[in-house]
Amino acid sequence: MLLTSFSYFVLLFITFVIFYAVPDKKKWIILLLSSLLFVGWLSINILIFTLIFSILNYFFGIILENSKSNITKKRLYTLFIITNVGILAFYKYINFLIDNLNVISSLFTSTLQFSHMDILIPVGISYYTFQSIGNLILIYRGTEKAERNIGKYILMLIFFPKFLSGPVERSNHFFPQIKSLRSFDSAIVTAGFRLFLFGMFKKVVIANNLSDIVFNSYGNLSVYSGMPLIVTFLIQAIYIYTDFSGYTDMALGSAKVFGIDLLPNFNRPFLAKNVTEFWKRWHMSLSLWCNDFIFKPLMIKYRAWGNNAAILSVFVTFLVIGIWHGANWTFVVLGVLQAIAITYEFLSKKQRLRFYKKLPKEVVLWSGRVITYLFFSFSLIFFYSKNIGDAFSFISQMFENFSFKFSGYSIVSNMEYFIMALTLFIILFLIEIFSEKGYDIQGKILKLPVFVRWTGYYVMIACIYYFSNNQETFVYMQF
Amino acid sequence: MKKYLSKILIFSSPIILVIVFIIVIDPYDFINISHVISDSDKIKVLNRSNASEPRGNVIWKYISYRRKPIENLLIGDSQGKYFDTAYIREITGEKYFNFNIPGGSYKTMFSLFWYATKLTKLKNVYFQCGFMNYNAYRDYNLINYGVDLVNNPITYFSNFKFLEDSYYNAYYALTKNEKLVEIYYLKMTLQELDSLAEYRITNMFKKYKYPETYYKELKKITDYCKENDITFRFVITPNYIGLEKYIKKFGLTEDRDRFKSDLKSLAPTIDMEYLDGLSNDRSKYYDYFHCRREYVSRLVDMIWGKTNINSFIKDNSDGQ
């Protein structure tokens, strides 16, 4: 059940009606039941796995909190973290490990080869494992108390709007909210539905109509070269942004209907002036998690190393971010590229600022934005490619048979829809630019007469309805 | 909260109207409550265009067979779509269901066969085969249109295509505008039909790989029929002789011969690929592999034994 499916909307709406019909203290039970139904609908096996995982971590938290001596606490903490990472690694990385072991062993002997394990990766595992680890870290640090209500703990991990694709929620952000679920507030509920609709529009009308070019290019690298790949290069970041942010808006909107604010994931990322800033605006819940639980502890631990501590912390953090996306060397490269860029920006900051002073402000601002966008697009080649070889083929083929002609080469199944989606993205981007400058565009829209607003909503619904026959794919669900 | 719910109801009224409209028109008899539009009109509308034909036929036949399974089947692609079951009944005295799907791949046909076996005990199966689709690259499966709808009935309202179908049904019912349901290839000149034929053949043959797995799947089907006492026949429908030029041009003669011998090794095969009196007359075809409707009853006569398979040799003047 994808968030864009009609069945999801039915579940959301029924949950909404029952949620506000029951007393405040029982509201979380409705959310838990809907979440169990949602996960069970995906697969009973996933539900069982997730429940066992949640119960295990629930007890880990309590045991950790109850341990008296610091040494025991530290040992238990290490054990619990290793268990969580181990579960994630087993499901997500075991076959990757086997592949690499086979490569290494083939250097010495041809007889020792390990075969792949036939396992299915439980959907959403990267998201809820990071959430449970985050909770354990906070308990260990003493900044959060272990949750005693097992139902609420399970809800924290499997809350249905965020189960498939995050955001990577933080327990200290989520628990206080479900402990004070409020009565019906029409303004909040409407804002939730509006955000949901807007997210769906972004995903179905914009992202889905841009997806062709990306999947066709990477799926048929032997066929394409030159202009189609250059266009793909330029479009792929827009596609992943509208796809993922659209889905995130739907998750955030769904949660808001129940008065719950999930962590935001995007803050106008294409307006970032450099890569360091980009990662403060892109997949924020993940980057913030890594910042708090990996980067900062490393910086503190190795602070005596000076700049080297920062470089080490950046590389480790972005390696984790890279590998979090999947078991493939391409994701390692993705992470390393970000780390190299951020390290460069960190080390060259003074010189760059000196140079920028000589240039007009707007030139500095926009050249920074363009370079950051192009850099991100470049690193996405490794994100979409099946392997490193394909990524390099993509890069080299971009400059083969180069021509300014772009006939489509059947790379886009419907050119009109593609252009429409691109135009809509440009409008969205302009709104982001104005919002960045402080114009309250949303506020202005909300002040429009009901008739105008409702017409706008109907147009969006009609577009979603029209374009929703396309095969649904959601890139970030695989993580 | 009550106020808010009524506001939602008002806001949703256009959506509710759309749902009611689809229920009333019911383009595929899926809901099967309202019958304001006749089935024959609905069939005309679903065949209205090249694009609507495959999807429309799969959904219509998938649902209709599910509701009323029949033990005698014709399975195949567009080459057999004009096999008239009423006429077959006249000859054989038995009811047949035509599961021929325009654009249907072999995978579609396999799935339709197994789908039918799940719903009823089959008695006679005529499996219409063409070499055109016997290609490993043509590996899509149209049955998913039907399966998806039955597995997720909500899509009847949430998929825009069904609203579009309902609209065309209503429009046709109100205006009786025949242009809407006019079959596109009937309007084409012979020259245009030739171009269409060349386009289609090139598309089908330019990328070719002999489908080894199809043989295995066909064997599974014929074995199943033997085990279950089902009379099974392959039927190769006639092509225009001009097709042969393309088969040679794309170097597929051996593959075509292998295709035919593979079929013959599995089950009795009614091979009408090139019929004297029919295959050498371009005017008796739409493109090179779709014999005109008016000659199909003659093929039915031959397949079900009313006339000799060589009847076209004797009488090639009128085709009736």
* Grouped pLDDT means (10 residues each) for chain B, 320 residues: 91 95 97 93 92 93 96 94 92 94 94 97 95 90 94 90 96 92 84 87 88 94 96 93 91 94 92 84 86 87 73 40
Nearest residue, CB atoms, A189 vs list B4, B154, B161: B4
What is the predicted pLDDT for the residue at A479?
53
What local confidence, expressed as pLDDT, does residue A408 receive?
47
Interface residues of chain A, partner chain B, Cβ below 8 Å:
5-7, 10, 17, 20-21, 184, 186, 189, 454, 457-458, 461, 465-469
User: What pLDDT is stored for residue B22 in this prediction?
Assistant: 97
Long-range contacts of A340-349 (CB under 8 A, 24+ apart): A341/A275, A341/A375, A342/A275, A342/A276, A342/A279, A342/A314, A342/A318, A343/A310, A343/A311, A343/A314, A343/A315, A345/A274, A345/A275, A345/A276, A346/A276, A346/A307, A346/A310, A346/A311, A346/A314, A347/A307
Find out whether A45 and A123 touch, Cβ atoms under 8 Å.
no
Chain A CB contacts of B5 under 8 Å are: 17
B174 touches chain A (CB under 8 A): no
* Contact flag A6-B158 (C-beta cutoff 8 Å): yes
CB contact under 8 A, A7 and B5: no
Q: Would you call A7 and B161 a contact, using CB atoms and an 8 Å cutoff?
A: no
CB A320 within 8 A of CB A312: no
CA nearest A461 in B: which residue? B15
CA separation for the pair A167, A248 (Å, rounded):
7
Structural domains of chain B ordered from first start: 53-142+182-314 (3.40.50.1110)
Strand partners, B128: B235
Interface test with A, best of B3, B6, B8 (most A CBs within 10 A): B8
Contact predicate B143/B108, CB 8 Å: yes
Angle between helices A388-398 and A208-219 (to 10 degrees): 100
> Considering only CA atoms, which of A127, A128, A105, A126 is closest in space to residue A115?
A105
| Record: contact B1-A6, CB cut-off 8 A | no
Indicate the residue of B4, B5, B14 with minimum beta-carbon distance to A458: B14
* Residues 6 or more apart whose Cβ sits within 8 Å of residue A14: A34
Distance CA B190, CA B232 (A): 36
Say yes or no for a CB contact (<8 Å) between B159 and A468.
yes
**Any chain A CB within 8 A of the CB of B152?**
yes
Mutate to test the interface with B, among A465, A467, A470, A471 (most CBs of B within 10 A): A465
With an 8 Å Cβ cutoff, are B15 and A454 in contact?
Answer: no
Q: Could you tell me how far CA B93 lies from the centroid of its own chain?
A: 23
Nearest to A469 among B15, B152, B160 (CB): B160
**Local structure of B229: helix, strand or coil:** coil
Question: pLDDT at position B317, please?
Answer: 36
pTM of the model as a whole: 0.85
Instruction: HSE, CB side, 13 Å, CA atoms: give it for residue A458.
Output: 15
Query: Pairing mode, if any, of strands B72-76 and B97-100?
Result: parallel
Backbone angles phi, psi at A367, to 5 degrees: -65, -35
Give me the pLDDT at residue A412, please.
Answer: 81
Q: Chain B: residue nearest A193 by CA? A: B8
pLDDT at B320: 30
Q: What share of chain A is helix, strand, coil (3-state, %, to 5)?
A: 75, 0, 25
Backbone dihedral angles phi then psi of residue A347, each to the nearest 5 degrees: -75, -25
- pLDDT for the residue B170: 97
Chain A residue whose CA is closest to B10: A454
Among A6, A186, A465, select the one facing B154 at the smallest CB separation.
A6
Spatial CB neighbours of A405, under 8 Å, sequence gap ≥ 6: A227
For chain A, say whether B233 makes contact (Cβ under 8 Å): no
* Distance from the A457 Cα atom to the nearest Cα atom in chain B, whole angstroms: 10
- All residues of chain B having their beta carbon less than 8 Å from the beta carbon of residue A186 are 4
Residues of B in contact with A5 (CB under 8 A): 158
The distance of B11 to chain A (nearest Cα, Å) reads 8
Q: Which amino acid belongs to residue B179?
A: K
Q: What is the mean pLDDT of each run of 10 residues along chain A (479 residues)?
A: 86 96 95 97 94 97 93 95 94 87 82 80 91 96 95 97 93 95 93 96 94 89 85 96 96 97 96 96 96 95 92 96 91 96 94 91 94 97 94 92 60 87 96 94 91 95 85 53
Give me the pLDDT at residue A144, please. Answer: 94
Nearest to B1 among A10, A20, A457 (CB): A20
Lookup: tokens for B111: 């799935």
The answer to whether the Cβ–Cβ distance between A458 and B161 falls below 8 Å is: no
One-letter amino acid of B243: L
Locate the chain B residue with the closest alpha carbon to A4: B158
Q: CB distance A184–B14 less than 8 Å?
A: no
Which of B160, B166, B167, B203 best tests the A interface by mutation, with the highest count of A CBs <10 A?
B160
Establish, for the pair of chains A and B, how many residue pairs have beta carbons separated by less than 8 Å.
30
Per CB-CB distance under 8 Å, the chain B contacts of A184 are 1, 4
**Within an 8 Å CB–CB cutoff, is residue B160 touching chain A?**
yes
| Chain B residues within an 8 Å CB radius of A467 | 160
Q: What is the pLDDT of residues A197-254, one digit of tens each?
A: 999 999 999 999 999 889 988 988 887 888 889 999 999 999 999 999 999 999 999 9
Closest Cα in chain A to B14: A458
Within an 8 Å CB–CB cutoff, is residue B13 touching chain A?
Answer: no
- The answer to whether the Cβ–Cβ distance between B1 and A21 falls below 8 Å is yes
**B160·A468 Cβ contact <8 A:** yes
Task: Test B152 with A7 for CB contact under 8 angstroms.
Answer: yes
Structure tokens at B79: 């080459």
Is B10 an interface residue toward A (CB < 8 Å)? no
